[in-house]
């Protein structure tokens, strides 16, 4: 997949369509300074905007391959266009993620992309590992890389809340220990 070309095309098609969305996944990590190879584009998309999202992707030659209440996947016949995945934002937590999303520049500053905040990206990574334990090591590595890169600016209370939400408090304590951060006293 030619990520830069596909990302540029998707952003162009979304312009003016009033779709609330933000990058997540490997592209989200990259926008926050953590480089990791990825083979698809992942976004958080407001559920009410899915018809316009679908229309934008369809105009690029993508077809809807899968849709559930929580997620959808669009695939392209040309392999260098890959697939575009979307998590559907409709619960208060994911809607809050979209509300907090902000523009970030690609490493070459060629594109400005809305991206969820680092804390929210960590929350999504925790959800992914809770949903699929086989992804444990990859998701933990991504979480640690992002936390290490952003340690001084993270809202650690929000990071801890996500760990508690998914029953991963011990991972939170391990993460802080590996980063050399002090143990937190419990209220």
Among 162, 150, 165, 161, smallest CA distance to 187 is for 161
Q: Where are the beta strands (DSSP E) in the chain?
A: 21-24, 41-46, 62-67, 71-76, 83-89, 102-105, 112-115
**Can you give the pLDDT at residue 104?**
93
**Can you give the pLDDT at residue 97?**
97
- pLDDT of the chain, 187 residues: tens digit per residue: 778 889 999 999 998 899 999 999 999 999 998 987 677 899 999 999 999 999 999 999 999 999 999 999 999 999 899 999 999 999 999 999 999 999 998 877 788 999 999 999 999 999 999 999 999 999 999 999 999 999 899 999 999 999 999 999 999 999 999 999 887 755 4
- What's the chain's Rg over C-alpha atoms? 17
As a residue count, the chain comes to 187
CB 23 within 8 A of CB 113: yes
* Alpha-carbon torsion (58, 62, 65, 68), positive or negative: negative
- Please report, for the chain, the start and end positions of each structural domain, with discontinuous segments joined by +: 1-116, 117-187
**Separation between Cα atoms, residue 84 and residue 75, nearest integer Å:** 7
Kindly report the CATH class assigned to 1-116: alpha beta
Pairing relation of β-strands 41-46 and 83-89?
parallel
Distance from the Cα of residue 160 to its chain's centroid: 18
* Residue matched to tokens 């030619």: 2
Q: Tell me, what DSSP letter sits at residue 124?
A: H
For the chain, the distance separating the N- and C-terminal CA atoms, rounded to the nearest angstrom, is 48
CB 39 within 8 A of CB 1: yes
**Can you give the pLDDT at residue 20?**
97
**Separation between Cα atoms, residue 186 and residue 155, nearest integer Å:** 16
**Can you give the pLDDT at residue 185?**
53
């Amino acid at each position: 997949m030619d990520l830069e070309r596909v990302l540029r095309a998707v952003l162009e098609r979304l312009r003016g369509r009033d779709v609330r969305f933000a990058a997540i996944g490997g592209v989200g990590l990259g926008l926050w300074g953590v480089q990791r190879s990825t083979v698809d584009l992942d976004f958080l998309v407001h559920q009410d905007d899915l018809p316009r999202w679908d229309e934008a992707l369809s105009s690029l030659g993508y077809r809807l391959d899968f849709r559930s209440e929580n997620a959808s996947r669009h695939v392209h016949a040309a392999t260098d266009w890959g697939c575009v995945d979307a998590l559907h934002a409709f619960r208060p937590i994911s809607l809050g993620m979209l509300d907090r999303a902000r523009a970030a520049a690609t490493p070459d500053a060629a594109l400005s992309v809305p991206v969820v905040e680092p804390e929210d990206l960590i929350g999504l990574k925790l959800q992914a590992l809770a949903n699929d334990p086989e992804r444990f090591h990859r998701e933990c590595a991504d979480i640690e890389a992002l936390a290490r890169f952003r340690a001084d600016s993270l809202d650690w209370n929000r990071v801890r809340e996500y760990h508690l939400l998914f029953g991963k408090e011990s991972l939170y304590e391990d993460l802080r220990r590996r980063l050399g951060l002090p143990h937190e006293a419990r209220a």
